[in-house]
Amino acid sequence: MWDLKIINGRVVSSGHVNEHTLYIKDGKIGAVTSEDNGEEASRVIDASGKYVLPGLIDTHVHSRDPGPTYKEDFAHSSRAAAAGGITSIFEMPNTTPPVDGPEHFDLQHQNLQSKAYVDFGLWGICLGSLNNHQIQALNEKGVIGFKFFWGYAVHSETYQLIYNYKPGMENVIAPFNDGDVFEMMQEVAQTGKIFAVHAENNDLIQTMTSLVEKKGGRSYEDLIAGRPDLAELLTVNTGIELAKASGVRFHVLHVSSEAGVKAVKRAQEEGYPVTVETCPHYLFLSNEDYPGIGPQMKVYPPVKYKQDQEGIWAGIKDGTISHVCSDHAPHTEEEKEGDLWSIPAGMCGVESMASLMLNAVNQGEISITDFVRLMAEEPARMFGIYPQKGSLQPGTDADITIVDLDQEMIIQKENLHSKSKVTAFDGFAVKGVPTETIVRGAIVMQNGEITGDKGYGRLVKPVVNKQKQVQP
């Protein structure tokens, strides 16, 4: 007898949509058949009128655990993921302590394991000379990739990132220079894994922000002027050239500008292993939305102009952009209610991302097969966990997201499962909702209710590939 059978659903996989039946046993997909063969199962889900998808993956989550857990913790963020149809999340490494070596990797694994409702991967952080000697050991431990916060200073004692760096700060290591970055890339290139960057040029931001402040600028337009698209473009272009020389797989996180997308596209056309992601706030918001939403939409890099939004959508449609992720980074409502320049950047995102993207399917921006490519298949391939994750192949983990494209919902912050409820999408009407989240055969969310157990999620490790990327 099978543990679970999913019948009457429209199964989306590898660019195709077919009415198939899925059979699950011992946490694995046992069979996918074109007809129900009548074999019994302990539990049956009738997915009539719904789409059955490979489990969705969010590659960019900040649960702040350990760290400022009054904002968020992993139990809450992984519950929010389950509620939003996400079966695996990749946790960012800027925690306290950061994931900068094998000892801290093990501590974080143990910490998150006890709280996880869904499966999870761990990013490793790049801190230049502070941990270049730890990169290979982190690779062996099984980090999903390596992240460098380009342009950020580091506290000399705690190794915590300094988000609003000013020259002359005490106990602070100034942002790393391009030579430092090249050395980091050389180390990461030996692992075959992704070197991902927050792409904003600190020198330009310091200068432009100073000019804006001297004029007394306090508006959202002034915020963009202080962190313009040029700050992203400079870092993307520098990163691409350094990546060409080092052979590393270079990845641009949360692209926010048309210029950034075009720069990546040029490198891809030249044959280099350069990839780029984006987030719902860059796809569905622009500066024009700030008067109605307010400081809740402050993120870094900032949401920019309609032209940038359109350029990012063009990158989605022509395949330049590999995938969509949330950059889930909650703060408390009190923290987000202050002056625009002093409040922190970031908001909730892991729970609302899938519905926002499903709404785009209904609006004709993308197809349901595009949705699966952007939210499951391509992230799994990029990070070396396909087909174990991101597919519906027999023998792989039974990670499945079932969605109802006809169901309508209004995103309401009070209904979010995160500890903090700040979101720019409060009150947004969407059509398209995840109705079941299945992680390794266990139903962890059904019809909006969390049915899984805390501590069920498991660490996801990529297939080790030490081969350096071959340059064209």
Closest CA to 424 of 323, 315, 284: 284
Instruction: Write out pLDDT tens, residues 86-134.
Output: 999 999 999 999 999 999 999 999 999 999 999 999 999 999 999 999 9
* Beta carbons within 8 Å of 35's beta carbon, 6+ residues apart: 21
Q: What is the pLDDT of residues 281-320, one digit of tens each?
A: 999 999 999 999 999 999 999 999 999 999 999 999 999 9
> What number of CA atoms fall less than 13 Å from residue 412's CA on the CB side?
5
Per-residue pLDDT at 471 exceeds 80: no
On whether the CB atoms of residues 66 and 111 are closer than 8 A, the answer is yes
- Banded pLDDT at 470 (limits 50, 70, 90): very low
pLDDT of residue 158: 83
The pTM assigned to this predicted structure is 0.97
Note the Cα 210 to chain centre separation in Å: 31
Query: pLDDT value at position 464?
Result: 59
Q: How confident is the model at residue 154 (pLDDT cuts 50, 70, 90)?
A: confident
- Summarised one tens digit per residue, pLDDT across range 203-223 is 999 999 999 999 999 999 999
CA–CA distances in Å: residue 442 to residues 78, 375, 408, 417 = 15, 20, 26, 19
Q: Are 193 and 384 in contact (CB under 8 A)?
A: yes
* Structure confidence at residue 180 (pLDDT): 97
Is the pLDDT at 469 greater than 70, yes or no?
no
Partnered with residue 274 across adjacent β-strands are: 250
Instruction: Report the pLDDT averaged over residues 350-375.
Output: 98
Mean pLDDT over each residue of the chain, to the nearest integer: 96
pLDDT, mean of residues 427-445: 98
**pLDDT over 70 (residue 467):** no
pLDDT of 465 above 60: no
| Tally of CB atoms within 10 A around 357 | 24
Per-residue model confidence (pLDDT) at position 466: 43
Model confidence at 472: pLDDT above 80: no
The dihedrals phi and psi of 443, each to the nearest 5 degrees, come to -80, 110
**pLDDT over 90 (residue 163):** no
Q: What is the distance, to the nearest Å, from the Cα of residue 77 to the centroid of all Cα atoms in its chain?
A: 13
Percent over 70 (pLDDT), the chain: 98
Taking the C-alpha atoms of residue 247 and residue 244, their distance in angstroms, rounded to an integer, is 5
Residue 347 pLDDT: 98
